[in-house]
Amino acid sequence: MSRRIRIAVVDYGAGNLVSIDEALRSVGAEVTVVTDAAALRDADALVVPGVGAAAPAMARIEAQGLTGPIRTWLGSDRPFLGICLGLQLLLERSDEDDASTLGVLRGHTVRLADAPTLPHIGWNQVERTREHDLFTGIEDRADFYFVHSYAGAPAATDAAVVLAHTEHGGRFVSAVARGPMLGIQFHPERSGTDGLRLLANFVTIARAA
Amino acid sequence: MLRRRVIPCLDVADGRVVKGTRFVDLVDEGDPPELAERYAAEGADELVFLDIAAAPERRGTLLDIVERTARRAFIPLTAGGGVRSVDEMRAVLRAGADKVSLNTAAVADPTLVTACAARFGRQAVVVAIDARRRPGPEPSWELVVKGGREPTGRDAVAWAEEAVRLGAGELLVTSIDRDGTGTGFDTALLRAITDRVRVPVIASGGAAGPADLVAAIRDGGADAVLAASIFHRRVHAIADVKAAMAAAGLPVRLVPAAVA
């Protein structure tokens, strides 16, 4: 039997961590909720969850001394999963409050265009643009739970990272991947069976990395 | 395409799920996390917990229920009832809720809505609006608070618009006249609000059967429908409601049988 993967979930002071903690445990991971850089040392994989605006999130991550360590982590091609705001933070800036974000991907986080309702809240289909191990065993166009008004829009030069789109009025990017760096706009910890399957796939990817 | 949501509502008092008619005459309906898990397995798109006792000294009960539920049911959770400050909202989110609903406290202090939206994002702030139809030839509704017991003299539709301006990311609109009566949603109330706001509106109060839920969406413009008694008492299964919605041409998330 393979060893348990140790996943660090970054807690920067907002929102619900109970669901992601429990969901990752239920797929066999060992989970540590981390608030500082020291706690990252023993982790095999990093998860940045979160909802809400980019500026206060970046301010708290910075105050906890985590900006540098997260950049280093991403720069060294280690397993990473950004969920919702955690995906948006990978881009250079957020149009929501003009916050400067991590800039690992070129492009901005933009307001959803032509959305009939905003925020975009509820279950919606995730349409893949290419196959990826993150979606193993999950049907194309499966429903996942979204709750957001903005989405990361990778620049054309980084278009190869796009894994999936979702439609709400206009189309937006709902999943990205570059090596073991993964980002999803929806909430797998709130998306029932398919959400748990996706998290189990992330654990498998992290184990292989 | 965004699915229209079916949301069982669990009114909680002293750690148990209860349901009354027009907010009184409460009947015990079961253990909250147990019911929540059953609904998640049956295809509920989301769950709402409302602490209707909401006495401050018993707040721990709601947090405990939220956390136990969040660890058993991997679907979104909204909780509310008596939340009056940013710190209280933070506690409910950290216990495992994705959204918090504000009602009486938001009416008393509208800056609370703005403060909570600034801190947690507007997508986490649900403003719950209880409305009672005013007599007269023109349709109009009065905003009521404190679990439907206290009239405010204010127009419920105007408050809905104001709540969204203040930072509400979603509205939970309950017809007090219809709540628990099984006489159908007040679709005119829903339409009056959905015509004026862009945030999603959850319809509540009066569901008797699948046709009512379809009407709330089609005629009322609601994004989601909430019901309690018909699910607690197994009058209708969530799957049957969704089948009726799908048959009416509404986009729904169909859940295969026997998944958790």
> With 90 as the cut, is the pLDDT of residue B13 above it?
no
Instruction: Give me the interface pTM, i.e. the ipTM.
Output: 0.93
* DSSP letters for B110-162: THHHHHHHHHH-GGGEEEEEEEEEPSSSS--EEEEETTTTEEEEEEHHHHHHH
> With 60 as the cut, is the pLDDT of residue B21 above it?
no
Q: Is B85 on the interface with A (CB under 8 A)?
A: no
CATH of the domain at A12: 3.40.50.880
Phi, psi of A182 (to 5 degrees): -120, 145
Bridge partners (DSSP) of residue B141 are B133
A-chain residue closest to B41, CA distance: A192
Higher pLDDT, B56 or B29: B29
Q: Give the model's pLDDT for residue B228.
A: 86
Q: Where are the domains of chain B?
A: 5-247
Query: CB of A71 within 8 A of CB of A105?
Result: no
Domain that holds residue A20: 6-208
* Closest alpha carbon to B39 in B78, B2, B75, B65: B75
Read off the amino acid at residue A158: D
> With 90 as the cut, is the pLDDT of residue B26 above it?
no
Distance CA A11, CA A15 (A): 9
Please judge whether B98 and A16 are an interchain contact, meaning their C-beta atoms are less than 8 angstroms apart.
yes
Q: Is B57 exposed, middle or buried (0-12, 13-18, 19+ CB in 10 A)?
A: exposed
Distance CA A26, CA B37 (A): 15
Q: Which of A96, A108, A165, A189 is catalytic?
A: A189
What is the dotted CATH code of the domain comprising B5-247? 3.20.20.70
Q: Give the model's pLDDT for residue B54.
A: 62
Residues of A in contact with B169 (CB under 8 A): 119, 121, 149
> With 70 as the cut, is the pLDDT of residue B19 above it?
no
| pLDDT level of residue B14 (50, 70, 90 thresholds) | confident
Distance CA B102, CA B125 (A): 7
Q: Give the model's pLDDT for residue B256.
A: 65
> With 90 as the cut, is the pLDDT of residue B61 above it?
no
How many angstroms away from the CA of B25 is the closest CA of chain A? Answer: 33
How many angstroms away from the CA of A76 is the closest CA of chain B? Answer: 31
* Triad A101, A106, A107: Cα angle to 5°: 75
Helix axes B187-194, B210-218, angle to 10 degrees: 30
**Best of B74, B170, B190, B254 to mutate (most A CBs within 10 Å, chain A):** B74
A30 catalytic residue (yes or no): no
Q: Give the model's pLDDT for residue B62.
A: 85
Higher pLDDT, A54 or B248: B248
Residue A144 belongs to a domain: yes
Q: Give the model's pLDDT for residue B79.
A: 95
* Closest alpha carbon to B242 in B224, B219, B260: B224
Q: Give the model's pLDDT for residue B260.
A: 39
Q: Which residues of chain A have pLDDT under 70?
A: 1-2, 14
Bridge partners (DSSP) of residue B172 are B128, B202
Distance CA B160, CA B170 (A): 10
Q: How far is CA B236 from CA A79, B15, B28, B242, in A?
A: 45, 25, 18, 10
Q: How far is CA A89 from CA A31, A57, A94, A146, in A?
A: 22, 9, 8, 17
Q: Tens digits of per-residue pLDDT, B98-138?
A: 999 999 999 999 999 999 998 888 999 999 999 999 998 88
| Lowest mean pLDDT, pick from A33-47, B27-41, B139-153 | B27-41
Query: CB of B225 within 8 A of CB of B185?
Result: yes
Please judge whether A118 and B119 are an interchain contact, meaning their C-beta atoms are less than 8 angstroms apart.
no
- Average pLDDT, stretch B223-252? 93
| pLDDT level of residue B259 (50, 70, 90 thresholds) | very low
Residue A89 belongs to a domain: yes
**Count of the separate structural domains present in chain A:** 1
> With 60 as the cut, is the pLDDT of residue B258 above it?
no
**Cβ neighbours around A75 below 10 Å, total:** 10
